Structure 1
């Protein structure tokens, strides 16, 4: 059964702990990187009790939860990996016969319980719940899809939110920039380290995200167009992977972004490039789904039986004060 860990601060000290209900058992290993935690667990240098002693437990309300994904690390993402999200983003799933990859800066990593800062120049701020995968083994050669075992490479799972500034990502055609501002990658709170018999449960994971109590995204992991095994094999052909690097596996439908209808797209195709994007941004501004200061985002990923439970993100949107346009 998967073991659930959190990275936390308690009395000015950072540590890792095992989760037991609403309480934490500190491992007293200090502020290890995600990589060193995974290596320590693999080599059994970090001991985890089979039964957590109650006298050493810390209540969660006495600690500050930190991101279980530490820097530096490589953040690789999949785009339009759920069919319905492809449609709302203006892509035809039948003609998109490729796995779309991009990256985020690890500068964007932040805690799962805290603030998302909307930069002053950003107007179209969007949310994207995603299942995050942490690699537990280096990949230095191309893997054969049919013969390799993904259990050797997938060490852990966590909740990711791929916060996106759509007016930067799309109008400027800069995915990396539009998805990499500070606080644009809330991670955690739980790092679920998998056991061999846990992998069959990945497909049954349920992803849910609400904004101000309204359900916006809901899907199962088995709805991915390109599942982890296929994705990792393809990724190995053009990327070197280190232990602790992460893969975000795409978001379901329900984002604030919604592509214009076909007639509007045809009309826009006759406009100059700058005018086309002016029309697009103007149309998107009418959508009330985009995040505003004060909005509260909650997200959770778990199996129906709770054997894998990645916890809950609770985030509040705040307005940034720095204007990058001047």
Structure 2
């Protein structure tokens, strides 16, 4: 199952999920009516059965549009300021915080692979943040850090797009700057989590128009993913299909002088070996 890739996609006017191959998509949702979505399959521990069904199956769709992997995701929790140099980027003289910063995002704020990020007319400070996202597969409360990986079903990539000016509208939250419709992206697909090295050895690179802007390893996180799962599950029961977006390295556009925000025509790529490359253009809202 290590090489399996599962995605949600749109084709023939309907939403499907399936397995991704180099030749196209193998639709699996018709074979598993008990799981109308990938999230339902994850909740039932069904990824191994999906991988078995895809083995040797014929491609059903060569023409399709990627959706975000879990379009019905109920809870998306993001971790902020989670690499050592990120705290220094704020230039406010503060020490690295003792506890991680968290904020919610909603599925409506994301678009799929190879579909455009949308820059709204109200503000043009659209920025990129390349990150790894983990999908919870087994529920748990007060999960020990040593057991945290046992609760992960899959990994995916996220461009946690942000309207920077709008994160400054209030003193204690960034929610409104983080949830503009289709301002971020997630995907292209889910890769089943089978080995700690998929996280511990992960190398994340973000490019804008081919130029490397972010380049770091997940092992450098201030709050590693094991600790994220332990901390978040202290105050809420993590459930199958919950997504944790784990933090971005230094190098976002807002941190340049002058800032280098995204404009229509830009192409952003977030790449992690073993997971894939999430690619999105940029367009103004119609």
Please tell me the TM-score bracket, short chain as reference: 0.7 to 0.9
SS across alignment from 1:76: strand
Paired residue total: 281
Alignment of 1:243-258 (within 5 A): 243-258=240-255
Which of 184, 201, 204 lines up with 1:204 in the alignment?
201
Cα gap change, 1:83 to 1:92, in 2 (>3 Å): farther
| Residue 263 (structure 2) aligns with | 292
Q: CA deviation at 1:91?
A: 5.6
Aligned partners of 2:166, 2:134: CA distance in 1, in Å? 26
Structure 2: distance between partners of 1:100 and 1:295: 29
Gaps of 5+ in 2: none
Contact (CA 8 Å) 2:39, 2:240: kept in 1 or not?
yes
Show the counterpart of 2:280: 315
Measure, in 1, the Cα distance between the counterparts of 2:5 and 2:94. Answer: 35
Contact 2:47 2:192 survives alignment (8 Å): no
Cα deviation for residue 58 of structure 1 reads 4.1
Q: CA RMSD in A?
A: 2.5
- Taking structure 1 as the reference length, the TM-score comes to 0.78
Q: What is the rounded CA distance, in whole Å, between the counterparts of 1:220 and 1:12 in structure 2?
A: 39
Give matches, 1:1-326, under 5 Å. Answer: 1-2=1-2, 3-27=4-28, 28=30, 29=32, 32-42=36-46, 46-49=49-52, 52-53=55-56, 56-58=58-60, 61-90=62-91, 94-139=95-140, 141-145=141-145, 148-173=146-171, 174-195=173-194, 198-258=195-255, 286-287=258-259, 289-302=260-273, 308-309=274-275, 311-320=276-285
Aligned to 1:276: none
Secondary structure class of the residue paired with 2:239: coil
TM-score, normalised via structure 2 length:
0.88
Structure 1 residues 95 and 152, CA, compared in 2 at 3 Å: closer, same or farther?
Answer: closer
The 1:258/1:13 distance shift into structure 2, 3 A limit, reads: closer
Do the aligned partners of 1:69 and 1:109 also contact (CA within 8 Å) in 2?
Answer: no
Counterpart in the other structure of 1:305: none
SS in 2 for 1:247: strand
Match of 1:271 in 2: none
